[in-house]
Structure 1
Amino acid sequence: MTGAGTVGDTPPAASLPDDPPAPHTRLVLPEDVLTGPLARAVLEHGPLAMTVSDPRLPGDPVVWANTAFTALTGYPLDEVRGRNCRFLQCEDTDPEAVARLRAALARGDDAQELLLNVRKDGSQFWNQLSITQLRDADGRVTHRVGVQVDVTAEAVGEAARTLELSLMHRTADRLELLARMGEELSRHLEVDDAVDALADLVVPRLATWGFVAMASETGHMERVHVVTADPEHAAVAHALGTQGTTWLTRSPRVAQTLGAGDDHVPMPMPVDVASLPSRTTPDELRLLRTLGLGSALLVPLTGRDRVLGVLCLVHRDTDGFDRETVVTAAHLGRRAGVLLENVRLYLAERDAALTLQHSLLPVLGDVGGLDVAASYLPSGRRAEVGGDWFDAFVLPDGAVSLAVGDVVGHDLRAAASMGQLRSLLRASVWRGDRPGEALERLDGLVRALDVADIATCVLVRWERTPTGARLTWASAGHPPVLVRLPGGQVQGLDGARSTPIGLPPVRPGTAPEAATDVPHGAFVVLYSDGLVERRDRGLREGIETLSAALAAVPGDATASQVCDALTGALVDEHQEDDVCLLVVRVD
């Protein structure tokens, strides 16, 4: 049969689902599709887990749930009906997220939250919950439709990424703190300054308050610096640091930390507040309580062969230190201990070099009746001692030998080399060598015997004349001698120059020297480059500054007064190099 509309017949081509409507034909769609069995089928068997609750009933119970909800949670409808959906929550569910959800619903708003829920079998899953509130014609909420989506994979991945980023940031923060500590301690070459810098940097970053205490080899507390992270308690921390060290020496945990071995692992512990009254004064106890006494973390500052001191971090809370802080503090303790020990070693080496250097420099007494003054000022860098020296003594023939030299380097070797060069030069001059010959002989000995690396030196032979003095000089790469004439004019004794001692000569076999006469009332000034040269002032500019200062001194000044005036004009508190100055007045 071909009659239209008969069951089993092929529909006309125009009515096939994939065919477009004929031109100018209006397609009429039904408006009541989601009613009856079709709507129930969509809701019951759809892929999204759904529930409907009735907030008009006590407890806002679930009145309907679809099969997708059962598949997601494991709970069938008969175990869900009549219960509030909070039964899906567990101990690990974020209470703040639950509070936000309840507040939104109470305001009549729709809501979305990510909740950690638990299935019937006890397994947890991340539930992206969306709740829509349905209202009647009067606007009253009659039902709430909840849609649950399992986003565990996404949430776990995001949590892992967040944790990884957090660990990266913490590691970066730790490395940055270690780097800053190393940089800060390297700037200080006084132990007390380094200790203060360590506490000022570390304590506010890691604790409520704390201190760094340094101990001698006998266990005596030498230095304590207390720091707080709260600016309002800065005066309290300072007061505690000036109370003495009794409150530290009576602390069992401080003593235990000072005696720690290589296997010691710092661990935070609650402060033993009950024992404090028996081992502190009332003032100390009051200050300690003001700063806060929750938990303490004591870290040994370990050097190469012993514990040098203690880094103590205190938190106002009993559980204030997390694992990351403990690890960071342990790293800081090991690194800071070595750096502080380096400061002590530098100072010990410098003190030894200074002792050696001062023992080798002459003590000026009567130098042929001349008005002579000398000044030696060590570098402001406590760990650096140069090889600068001066000399002035009477020769067998009645002339006077004047010299200033500078060995390249700033260490114990430079100071020792200075003593050798001074002795060799003295011997050469004493045997009758002229200035040029003496410097040539010294250069040969230095290069043959490997006495020193490189040195500069200026050597002057002073001979009295009826009108003043005759100066004969030679210079091995040294700044020129300056002469101030009675009228205030300053001249440099240029010429007679050769390469520094220890370097191959430009013209082997020659011993350049020069001579000049100076009148009564003149001043002769020998100096090392540390007096005139520094980072912000070149050698030539420095010599011009020295010449101006020398020209400004009174004509009737003594050699000592001139020496003081020149060092006062050219040397500041940030002196970077050793300064050697020798002044002679021509009487």
Structure 2
Amino acid sequence: MTQHATSSPAGTTPSTMVLPDLVDPVQAATGGAVLLLDTASQMVVDANRVASRLAGGMGIPSSFGSWCTAAGIIPAFETPQSTPEAIFAALREGRGIAVRSTRRGQDGVSWAVGLPLVGAPDHLADRALLVLLPIAGLDEPSDRDNSLDGLQMRAAVASHLSFTISDPTLPDDPLIWVNPAFCEVTGYTAEEVLGRNCRFLQGPGTDPGAVARIRAAIEAGEAVGETLLNHRKDGTPFWNQVVVSPVHDEQGRITHHVGIQADVTERIHAERRHVLELDEVNRENQRLSLLATITQALVDLFDEDSGAALLPELVAPHFGTWCAVVVVDDTGEPRLVHGAARDPERAADIAVLERSHRWVRESPSVLHVLSAHHSQVPAPFPVQVDTLPSRTTPEELAALERLGLGSALVVPLRGRDRHTGVLVVVSEDEDAFSGDDLHDIVALGARAGLALDNARLYHREHEAALTLQRSLLPEIVAAPGLDCATLYDPASDGADVGGDWYDVVPLPTGRVAVTVGDVVGHDVRAAASMGQLRSVIRSEAWSGRSPAEVVSGMDELVRGLGMADIATCVFALVDLPDEHGSRRITYTRSGHPAPLLLRVDGTVEHLDGALTTPIGVSTIHEEVPQAEAVLHPGDVLVLFTDGLVERRDRPLRAQLENLATCAGEIEQGMDAAGIRDAIVEVCADGTREDDTCLLVVRNTPGSDGAS
């Protein structure tokens, strides 16, 4: 007896939809008790192993009452059918009843189905089949009425299950009895199936693996459950959930195979629809995730050429065999090509196409997309290989052929008001691009075009601001006896410029004003404000005012005229040298990092006095403090903005201490430019988020220079 099923046309029985809630096939195969009863004597004459174990190994034949007592079988709910005799009467009449076992470890409720073997062979006359089907999800119900309603539904389901009995003592284990439900489901009459092995339900779509598992279990004398594709008499397929259980006589010999079958086509179809829906959702999520990842990677770049180089690296693993990004100049002419291949070993061929651009300049599809002044829906097209020799160099043609030429898709990379270029995606296969591929590549092109355009505009603005800022920073005028070196370095991460400044101003009195400051902000406005503040400081210092007066006057102008939002600075006056060559420094700090004083003996001092609020913050007039220090011959004064030491992943205090430690280890006798370079090298240990200004002033009596 070998069979199974899985697909159902219209007109399926109630069991089609409800059987999975009634009984699990594996549980039924291993946990369903099957008995063959003599209805006249009420004796159990055959039983499967589950039934024997349930009764503690009681021998057969035995009375049904004794078997129920040994198995602890009682009604699952209080009903008038409270005795084995009442249960037997219900089963003999073909009625089902909910039962449970009081034996330890036998939890749960089963539906006992009685099937008189009407029309069976003579040796099965006056016999009835008793099957205990484990009911899923029904243990000890707390709501008796609802549970009884559920059992009534399960009873209706059980009445539509197909039951079969086959005789393994006969050649080919033929069917010797089937119930009416089997005939209803399969479309065969009892006369057409009796005497045949159940494999006649199989067809071309039946899984041979499932059939083999059923056959192996039957040969081993074990119960088995499978679901496979069977066919009705009219040829229509249906999914059949089958459980086959052997029953034994008193000597333990297998006398019959009892089969329980149910049409579960709708369940299988529902499961498959659910899987397809989940697959579609997963594919959509993956597509959206890919678009988001590529877009974010491009948005994080501030340079058009870097974005053009990155885009094919992101696209190639997912679409086509290879791809290229063509960037055009303001006239629409290709100026740059970047490519990538799915196969990394094709990098040399990609390099050929990046180096030589004739294949792009004379490509009709590329030129057509670049010349279009309105949005067009791109479409994949077969590559016209026969025309390539006339519009490529021999080297390009060889590279293209090695990369693969089947079908291609050219997508515009459009910015706000112009084409920034095109994305070319090529597959070695014809008709390689699905509808989803087309949708995703077009979406990528639209996003990439804007991202590249943003990067281009951002780079232009950055260059303009940087040019403005550099033009506002002064050329350092040589100061007698002082060796000065300066540095302005934009941040390495980002395209904006800040309002950092430095200045060295020899004054009419012979003193020298030195200052470093930072206007809050990273834009052209910050750079412009920096230029205004530097001019104010120069004017105030030239008039002979003290550091405190210079800073106080600048604060009043900023608050009164709105020159800037907030700024920090350190301003110092360096006196003329005394007879020993030493110079007094008078300074004040408006919310700015403390300068360092590098002594000739290798010690380092923080000029951390004279701290007041940042410029533009205070709303009341307050006295600005100032402090003094001495710059001996060979000593070095180091002023800097916070961009030199500030790092997102490290505490500022630790960075300042590290700077001081490293500065103290700088080789003695080095000039200001060398000290500047050494400090920059010490601090170049990561990505800087802010611009940096650095001013190094070395007291060198008798010298006259700046760098």
Global fold match (TM > 0.5): yes
1:372 aligns with 2:484: yes
Secondary structure of 1:370's aligned partner: strand
Residue number among 315, 318, 321 corresponding to 1:202 in the alignment: 315
- Greater relative contact order structure (CA < 8 Å, 6+ sep): 2
Q: 1:307 offset after TM fit, Å?
A: 2.1
Q: 1:250 offset after TM fit, Å?
A: 1.1
From the superposition, tell whether residues 32 and 374 of structure 1 become closer, same or farther in structure 2 (CA, over 3 Å).
Answer: closer
Residue number among 693, 701, 705 corresponding to 1:580 in the alignment: 693
> Which residue is equivalent to 1:85?
none
> Which residue is equivalent to 1:138?
none
Residue number among 516, 534, 544 corresponding to 2:629 in the alignment: 516
Q: 1:365 offset after TM fit, Å?
A: 2.8
Secondary structure of 1:465's aligned partner: coil
1:280 aligns with 2:280: no
C-alpha contact (below 8 Å) 2:568/2:614 kept by paired residues:
yes
Q: 1:436 offset after TM fit, Å?
A: 0.6
> Which residue is equivalent to 2:592?
478
From the superposition, tell whether residues 128 and 323 of structure 1 become closer, same or farther in structure 2 (CA, over 3 Å).
Answer: farther
Residue number among 400, 417, 437 corresponding to 1:325 in the alignment: 437
From the superposition, tell whether residues 182 and 118 of structure 1 become closer, same or farther in structure 2 (CA, over 3 Å).
Answer: farther
From the superposition, tell whether residues 527 and 188 of structure 1 become closer, same or farther in structure 2 (CA, over 3 Å).
Answer: same
After superposition, what is the alpha-carbon deviation per residue over 1:275-308, rounded to whole angstroms, capped at 9, x for unaligned? 1122122222222122221111222222222221
Q: 1:571 offset after TM fit, Å?
A: 2.6
From the superposition, tell whether residues 18 and 424 of structure 1 become closer, same or farther in structure 2 (CA, over 3 Å).
Answer: farther
Residue number among 451, 467, 477 corresponding to 1:355 in the alignment: 467
> Which residue is equivalent to 1:212?
325
From the superposition, tell whether residues 577 and 320 of structure 1 become closer, same or farther in structure 2 (CA, over 3 Å).
Answer: same
Q: 1:225 offset after TM fit, Å?
A: 2.0
Residue number among 142, 145, 157 corresponding to 2:270 in the alignment: 157
Residue number among 184, 193, 208 corresponding to 2:306 in the alignment: 193
1:268 aligns with 2:377: no
Question: CA separation in 2, counterparts of 1:463 and 1:369?
Answer: 11
C-alpha contact (below 8 Å) 2:295/2:444 kept by paired residues:
no
C-alpha contact (below 8 Å) 1:527/1:580 kept by paired residues:
yes
From the superposition, tell whether residues 126 and 432 of structure 1 become closer, same or farther in structure 2 (CA, over 3 Å).
Answer: farther
Unaligned 5+ runs, structure 1: 1-15, 40-45, 51-66, 77-87, 133-146
Question: CA separation in 2, counterparts of 1:201 and 1:418?
Answer: 41
Q: CA RMSD in A?
A: 4.4
C-alpha contact (below 8 Å) 2:408/2:425 kept by paired residues:
yes
C-alpha contact (below 8 Å) 1:405/1:457 kept by paired residues:
yes
> Which residue is equivalent to 2:411?
299
1:445 aligns with 2:557: yes
From the superposition, tell whether residues 391 and 21 of structure 1 become closer, same or farther in structure 2 (CA, over 3 Å).
Answer: closer
Q: 1:108 offset after TM fit, Å?
A: 13
Q: 1:460 offset after TM fit, Å?
A: 0.7
From the superposition, tell whether residues 113 and 296 of structure 1 become closer, same or farther in structure 2 (CA, over 3 Å).
Answer: farther
Within-5 A mapping of 1:533-572: 533-572=646-685
Question: CA separation in 1, counterparts of 2:228 and 2:387?
Answer: 49
Residue number among 374, 381, 386 corresponding to 2:498 in the alignment: 386
> Which residue is equivalent to 1:455?
567
> Which residue is equivalent to 1:178?
291
> Which residue is equivalent to 1:493?
607
Residue number among 366, 379, 389 corresponding to 1:254 in the alignment: 366
C-alpha contact (below 8 Å) 1:277/1:285 kept by paired residues:
yes
Secondary structure of 2:318's aligned partner: helix
> Which residue is equivalent to 1:425?
537
Secondary structure of 1:486's aligned partner: coil
Within-5 A mapping of 1:37-52: none
C-alpha contact (below 8 Å) 1:227/1:237 kept by paired residues:
no
From the superposition, tell whether residues 153 and 562 of structure 1 become closer, same or farther in structure 2 (CA, over 3 Å).
Answer: same
1:416 aligns with 2:532: no
From the superposition, tell whether residues 74 and 520 of structure 1 become closer, same or farther in structure 2 (CA, over 3 Å).
Answer: same
Question: CA separation in 2, counterparts of 1:445 and 1:115?
Answer: 89
> Which residue is equivalent to 1:142?
none
Question: CA separation in 2, counterparts of 1:116 and 1:217?
Answer: 68
Q: 1:410 offset after TM fit, Å?
A: 2.0
Q: 1:168 offset after TM fit, Å?
A: 0.3
Question: CA separation in 2, counterparts of 1:581 and 1:21?
Answer: 105
Secondary structure of 1:296's aligned partner: strand
After superposition, what is the alpha-carbon deviation per residue over 1:328-362, rounded to whole angstroms, capped at 9, x for unaligned? 11221111222222222221121111101000000
> Which residue is equivalent to 1:308?
420
> Which residue is equivalent to 1:3?
none
Residue number among 431, 454, 457 corresponding to 1:345 in the alignment: 457
Question: CA separation in 2, counterparts of 1:565 and 1:372?
Answer: 15
Q: 1:69 offset after TM fit, Å?
A: 12
Q: 1:234 offset after TM fit, Å?
A: 2.9
Question: CA separation in 1, counterparts of 2:438 and 2:296?
Answer: 22
Question: CA separation in 2, counterparts of 1:250 and 1:581?
Answer: 52
After superposition, what is the alpha-carbon deviation per residue over 1:479-520, rounded to whole angstroms, capped at 9, x for unaligned? 112222332222222211100112116x73312112233222
Q: 1:118 offset after TM fit, Å?
A: 12
TM-score of the pair, normalised by structure 1? 0.76
Identity %: 42
C-alpha contact (below 8 Å) 1:128/1:150 kept by paired residues:
yes
Question: CA separation in 2, counterparts of 1:498 and 1:71?
Answer: 97
Residue number among 642, 650, 654 corresponding to 1:529 in the alignment: 642
Q: 1:158 offset after TM fit, Å?
A: 3.5
Question: CA separation in 2, counterparts of 1:565 and 1:199?
Answer: 40
Q: 1:32 offset after TM fit, Å?
A: 11
Question: CA separation in 1, counterparts of 2:473 and 2:465?
Answer: 12
C-alpha contact (below 8 Å) 1:395/1:401 kept by paired residues:
yes
